[in-house]
């Protein structure tokens, strides 16, 4: 007989007879399946547990003996009424109490105080204490007396808050699949494991420390936490002045706006009050003297550091892009940091010591092996109209001298319109048409206007070569979106600071070094052997020798991950090239369902 219901617990299990007997089978079944049959109800009425409820007792004894029954009944009523328990953790809470025989979990005032402190500390993670009913928790813990109804309400309130806090710290508040249709990172653990986590936490010697350990533990997350504290303080003090619009400011010039520029950089810490370099640079240059409207050398160096941290060309010229970054308020930076702390919680469980991370907004990629970065490269990613998706993937194999089969989106949006405008479009881009058997098809035989409306039965391909769109190496991934990493003949584009230029795939500046690391076969594949194979112009598919997760991540605020370094905690803010921050922030700031008082 099955007593656990999928809808309530997320699983279905046959319980051993001994367990059913020891846990008061009838009442447990009522709770977990949301009701009881007449047979079960009759069995309950004649059970020793049911009879014990009728036995006379003192008020104190009666409260003690009926609390588990009251908790069980309260949970049953919530389930039968269709009430979610205030959050998606309702099934976790029910199974937690089931596992402890419905005994109260929050009789110790000190333990309740620990949870309240942890909820208040959730601000350090960019979360909102109101999501965990902080005011109701304070009121409940201030109440005294032995009223059974009050004790039951308080116990469920604190357990609901704990379950919700665990979920948000470990997995994030927002479900990423609601924002990304391609989301395929590790999902949260199942109901059983999460209920066990609640039990383990209540057994922990220090509840606050045990809860803090559920959040990501890497230095980059801690760096963002430090930045959140600093920018929150800046926002509270009124932050910094804006720099007025106008012509580009350059070193050596005099302009009244230089005064505002200097004050802006001093306010955030990029430039000390006397003119010395700030955030991350403690060299203590001599204070600037003279005309405050002159764009001097110390100010220029501070601007360069600011530009580098914001993904801008570090040329000290304060043009429109640098001005836009300068005039983002401290409150907006706080929101940006909170959004990116949430993103880190989503993927923390997939962040192993071996990983290849493509930083979409940072326009770079890095391979980490055994915890150390062994390769990094500039990259180009999809332009806003053709975003590079957020994905967890792996390299299936390498292709040397790959030919390019034009994917459907590019065919539909580029090639067919291009041929309608210019009959020489295919020739200009070294493209040709082949049918299903690989035979060439003359472009003049195709009605391109009809192809745009009614589909295209052929493939458009580009042979490998120095001008091939994929360059000399392709890193095939396993996703179904025609997204992969590859070389490119357009090398000059890597000099641009902003490189959202592709049709969705990731172009690598240094593909050969990555290929050797992933082939992981120095006896057969060294630099000379790889060059010879490429120079042969023959298309080859090679298996990788080292399998590492490939993570395509979207991050608009990244903290220096070097613990103890002089620059630790310095944040690099990036432009939200795909406008993903706004929708996530709206969900992060939306109220969470709360337990009933």
Q: What is the DSSP string of 56-94?
A: ---HHHHHHHHHHHHHHHHHHHHHHTT--TTSTTHHHHH
DSSP H/E element including 118: helix 109-120
185: Cβ contacts below 8 Å, ≥ 6 apart = 176, 346, 347, 349, 350, 392
Residue 149, judged by CB atoms within 10 A of its CB (0-12, 13-18, 19+), counts as exposed
- The DSSP symbol for 414 reads I
Residue 313, judged by CB atoms within 10 A of its CB (0-12, 13-18, 19+), counts as middle
Query: How far is the C-alpha of 344 from the C-alpha of 350, rounded, in Å?
Result: 10
- Direct distance between the N- and C-terminal alpha carbons of the chain, in angstroms, rounded to an integer: 36
HSE at residue 535, side-chain half, CA atoms within 13 A, is 6
Catalytic residue among 125, 486, 547, 580: 486
Cβ atoms of residues 448 and 420 within 8 Å: yes
- Quick one: which of 163, 154, 333 has its CA closest to 239? 333
Catalytic residue among 394, 505, 547, 580: 505
| 429 in catalytic set | no
- For 146, the token pair is 């032995």
Give the number of other CB atoms < 10 A from CB of residue 52. 12
| 486 in catalytic set | yes
Residue appearing with tokens 């042979």: 463
Query: How far is the C-alpha of 186 from the C-alpha of 557, rounded, in Å?
Result: 22
- Residues that are catalytic: 486, 505
């Amino acid at each position: 007989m099955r007593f656990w219901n999928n809808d309530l617990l997320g699983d279905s299990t046959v319980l051993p007879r001994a367990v059913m007997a020891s846990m008061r089978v009838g009442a447990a079944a009522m709770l977990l399946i949301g009701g009881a049959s007449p047979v079960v109800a009759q069995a309950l009425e004649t059970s020793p547990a049911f009879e014990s409820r009728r036995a006379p007792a003192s008020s104190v004894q009666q409260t003690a003996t009926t609390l588990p029954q009251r908790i069980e009944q309260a949970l049953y009523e919530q389930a039968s009424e269709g009430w979610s328990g205030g959050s998606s953790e309702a099934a976790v809470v029910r199974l937690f109490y089931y596992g402890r025989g419905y005994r109260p979990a929050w009789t110790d005032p000190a333990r309740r105080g620990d949870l309240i402190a942890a909820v208040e500390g959730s601000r350090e993670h960019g979360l909102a204490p109101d999501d965990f009913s902080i005011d109701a928790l304070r009121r409940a813990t201030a109440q005294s007396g032995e009223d059974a109804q009050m004790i039951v309400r308080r116990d469920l309130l604190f357990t609901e808050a704990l379950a919700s806090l665990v979920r948000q710290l470990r997995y994030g508040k927002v479900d990423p699949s609601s924002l990304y249709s391609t989301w395929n990172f590790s999902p949260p653990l199942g109901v059983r494991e999460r209920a066990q986590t609640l039990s383990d936490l209540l057994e922990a010697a220090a509840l606050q420390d045990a809860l803090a350990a559920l959040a990501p533990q890497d230095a980059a997350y801690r760096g963002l936490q430090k930045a959140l504290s600093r920018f929150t303080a800046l926002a509270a003090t009124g932050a910094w002045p804006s720099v007025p619009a106008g012509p580009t400011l350059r070193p050596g010039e005099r302009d009244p706006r230089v005064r505002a520029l200097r004050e802006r950089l001093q306010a955030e810490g990029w430039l000390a009050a006397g003119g010395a370099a700030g955030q991350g640079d403690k060299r203590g240059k001599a204070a600037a003297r003279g005309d405050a409207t002159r764009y001097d050398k110390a100010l220029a160096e501070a601007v360069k550091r600011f530009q580098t941290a914001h993904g801008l060309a570090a040329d000290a010229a304060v043009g429109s892009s640098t001005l836009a970054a300068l005039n983002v308020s401290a409150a907006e930076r706080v929101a940006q940091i909170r959004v990116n702390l949430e993103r880190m919680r989503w993927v923390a469980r997939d962040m192993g010591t071996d990983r290849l991370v493509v930083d979409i907004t940072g326009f770079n990629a890095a391979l980490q092996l055994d915890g150390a970065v062994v390769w990094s490269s500039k990259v180009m990613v999809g332009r806003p109209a053709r975003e590079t998706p957020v994905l967890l993937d792996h390299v299936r194999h390498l292709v040397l001298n790959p030919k390019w089969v034009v994917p459907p989106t590019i065919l539909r949006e580029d090639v067919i319109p291009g041929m309608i405008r210019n009959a020489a479009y295919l020739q200009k881009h070294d493209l040709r048409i082949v049918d299903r058997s690989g035979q060439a098809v003359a472009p003049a035989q195709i009605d391109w206007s009809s192809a745009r409306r009614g589909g295209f039965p052929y493939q458009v391909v580009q042979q490998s070569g120095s001008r091939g769109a994929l360059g000399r190496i392709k890193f095939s991934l396993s996703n179904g979106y025609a997204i992969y990493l590859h070389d490119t003949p357009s090398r000059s584009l890597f000099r641009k600071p902003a490189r959202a230029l592709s049709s969705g795939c990731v172009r690598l500046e240094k593909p050969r070094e990555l290929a050797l690391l992933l082939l992981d076969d120095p006896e057969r594949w060294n630099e000379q052997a790889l060059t010879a194979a490429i120079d042969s112009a023959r298309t080859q598919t090679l298996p990788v020798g080292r399998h590492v997760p490939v993570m395509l991540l979207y991050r608009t605020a990244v903290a220096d991950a070097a613990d103890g370094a002089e620059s630790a905690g310095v944040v690099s803010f990036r432009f939200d090239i795909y406008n993903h921050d706004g929708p996530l922030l709206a969900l992060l700031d939306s109220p969470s369902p709360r337990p009933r008082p």
